[in-house]
């Protein structure tokens, strides 16, 4: 059976007596491979490999590192079908969705190709008498990324391309649920001519994570995952003096005004709620119609669309939605639907009993839709991370905005309307990090930055874009004078530029 091992210093790491855990094909429920577990020693060896190459890699000119990024982009494009197949086999999302994930990750590699420009500092002459001042951005050293199961290619590419383009070395810890595509991506980095040790991949669970957070030679940690773990990563890594960016969970609302294009709304709901089986931190999980007629119309449009979703294996080209990632996660989503019924929400579409002929052991669930959900229900308050839509009705725009702002998460939101003034007010007044206007999944492009507010993000740094350059570097400012032969004597007051 295939074994997914650690990749340290460009090769399989030989650690005797390590255990392994199973990797499943979500469509069939079958164990298809195993992933080697990690230990603190594995992390330490990865860090040592990175430390050995760091002086050479960081001293390369930004232009040389940029050319490596161009080569990396070229090879990923050539092998994207291979990567997408691995994603679909282990995560369950459709092949086209996997290709879309790779495409969005490639945008960040393209951004990293411009690293000579992004790292440009500034220079000012004569800030004082015969004194000049200049600043630049220098690499931190060794950084690490802890990435989630739902985007095993895109989220790593949110992190390491910019980090290594800035001159750092990187320790990548993927999810143990679907690490094969991440492993192949790590091998492609070597194929692009990036020296062994610049990027190392270490598998594992909490023990590996803790070893990363506590290692003295790791200067910065990036994380994407659930809010409880994001908060843990932030507090634990900060305790050890590390720079941290930690993206957490979400409960994204879509506010629908009476003047919205309802056919557009219906399509937007379907794609954003049920794409990738709802396993996206930017998925819409709550629709907030303003006015009874608006809610009724949404129900009329969306109910048959959910009932007619084409659900099947991710590699079936006819599938619109694949299975959930694991059996445990399937049972968790079903429990949330049970809770919604118990709490009194109206279950308009029930996806719990879906069975596919030939795939009876797969982790499949149908789309589900609750109406008349209230803000005190667990299906509203908590992140389900599955194909479950809740409709919370609002009588007025102000009440809809209040609903959005009072939720503890602040990752993404959207408003659908034909009124520019309403859209502008919503965008200005919502307490959310990423906002869509007639756009259901407002994930920023690579030259902007991704980041939520409130309990959706910890550490104060967004991901990718210029936020990422600032995160993966340290600002150094030099103030200098070359002696001219004239001396004015000691100065005992605080220096000024006058």
Query: How many CB atoms neighbour CB 131 within 10 A?
Result: 15
Q: Which among 88, 455, 413, 96 has a CA at the least distance from the CA of 282?
A: 413
3-state secondary structure of 401: helix
Task: Report d(CA 201, CA 99) in Å as an integer.
Answer: 22
Query: What 3-state DSSP class applies to 206?
Result: helix
Radius of gyration of the chain from its Cα atoms, rounded to whole angstroms: 25
- Whole-angstrom Cα distance, residue 165 to residue 132? 28
Q: For residues 370 and 304, what is the distance between their CA atoms, to the nearest angstrom?
A: 14
Q: Residue 498: what pLDDT?
A: 57
pLDDT given at position 163: 98
**Does 405 have pLDDT greater than 70?**
yes
- The pLDDT tens digits of the residues spanning 116-129 come to 999 999 999 999 88
List strands edge to edge, sheet with 30-36.
Answer: 2-4, 30-36, 20-25
pLDDT at 497 (0 to 100): 60
pTM: 0.95
pLDDT tens readout for residues 67-109: 999 999 999 999 999 999 999 999 999 999 999 999 999 999 9
- The model's pLDDT over 244-265, given as tens digits with 9 standing for 90+, comes to 999 999 999 999 999 999 999 9
pLDDT digits 0-9 by tens, 42-77: 999 999 999 999 999 999 999 999 999 999 999 999
State the chain's mean pLDDT as an integer: 96
Q: Which of 42, 143, 166, 281 is catalytic?
A: 281
430 is catalytic: no
């Amino acid at each position: 059976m295939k074994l997914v091992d650690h990749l340290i210093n460009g090769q399989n790491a030989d650690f005797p007596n390590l255990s392994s855990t199973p990797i499943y094909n979500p469509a069939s429920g079958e164990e298809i491979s195993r992933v080697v577990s990690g230990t603190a020693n594995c992390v330490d060896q990865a860090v040592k490999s990175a430390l050995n190459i760091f002086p050479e890699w960081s001293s390369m000119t930004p232009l040389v590192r940029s050319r490596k990024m161009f080569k990396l982009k070229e090879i990923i494009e050539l092998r994207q079908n291979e990567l997408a197949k691995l994603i679909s086999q282990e995560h369950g999302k459709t092949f086209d969705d996997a290709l879309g994930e790779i495409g969005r990750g490639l945008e960040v590699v393209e951004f990293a190709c411009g690293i000579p420009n992004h790292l440009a500092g500034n220079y000012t002459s004569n800030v004082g008498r015969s004194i000049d001042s200049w600043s630049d951005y220098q690499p931190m050293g060794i950084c690490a990324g802890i990435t989630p199961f739902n985007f095993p290619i895109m989220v790593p590419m949110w992190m390491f391309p910019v980090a290594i383009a800035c001159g750092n070395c990187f320790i990548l810890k993927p999810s143990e649920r679907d690490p094969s595509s991440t492993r192949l991506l790590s091998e492609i980095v070597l194929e692009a001519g990036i020296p062994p040790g610049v990027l190392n991949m270490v598998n594992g669970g909490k023990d590996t994570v803790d070893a990363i957070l506590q290692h003295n030679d790791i200067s910065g940690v990036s994380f994407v995952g659930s809010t409880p773990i994001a908060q843990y990563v932030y507090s634990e890594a900060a305790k050890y003096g590390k720079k941290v960016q930690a993206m957490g969970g979400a409960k994204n609302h879509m506010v629908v005004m009476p003047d919205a294009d309802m056919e557009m709304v219906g399509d937007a709901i379907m794609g954003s709620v049920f794409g990738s089986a709802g396993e996206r931190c930017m998925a819409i999980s709550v629709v907030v119609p303003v006015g009874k007629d608006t809610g009724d119309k949404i129900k009329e449009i969306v109910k048959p669309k959910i009932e007619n979703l084409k659900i099947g294996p991710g590699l079936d080209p006819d599938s619109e939605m694949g299975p959930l990632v694991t059996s445990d996660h399937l049972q968790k989503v079903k429990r949330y639907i049970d809770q919604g019924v118990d709490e009194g929400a109206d279950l308009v579409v029930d996806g719990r009993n879906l069975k596919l002929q030939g795939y009876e052991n797969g982790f499949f669930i149908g789309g589900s839709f609750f109406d008349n959900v209230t803000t005190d229900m667990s299906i509203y308050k908590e992140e389900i991370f599955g194909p479950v839509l809740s409709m919370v009705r609002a009588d007025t725009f102000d009440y809809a905005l209040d609903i959005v702002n009072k939720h503890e998460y602040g990752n993404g939101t959207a408003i659908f309307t034909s009124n520019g003034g309403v859209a502008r007010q919503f965008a200005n007044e919502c307490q959310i990090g990423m906002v869509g206007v007639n756009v259901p999944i407002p994930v920023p492009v690579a030259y902007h930055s991704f980041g939520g507010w409130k309990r959706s993000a910890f550490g104060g740094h967004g991901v990718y874009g210029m936020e990422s350059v600032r995160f993966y570097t340290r600002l150094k400012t030099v103030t200098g004078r070359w002696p001219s032969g004239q001396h004015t004597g000691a100065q005992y007051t605080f220096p000024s530029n006058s």
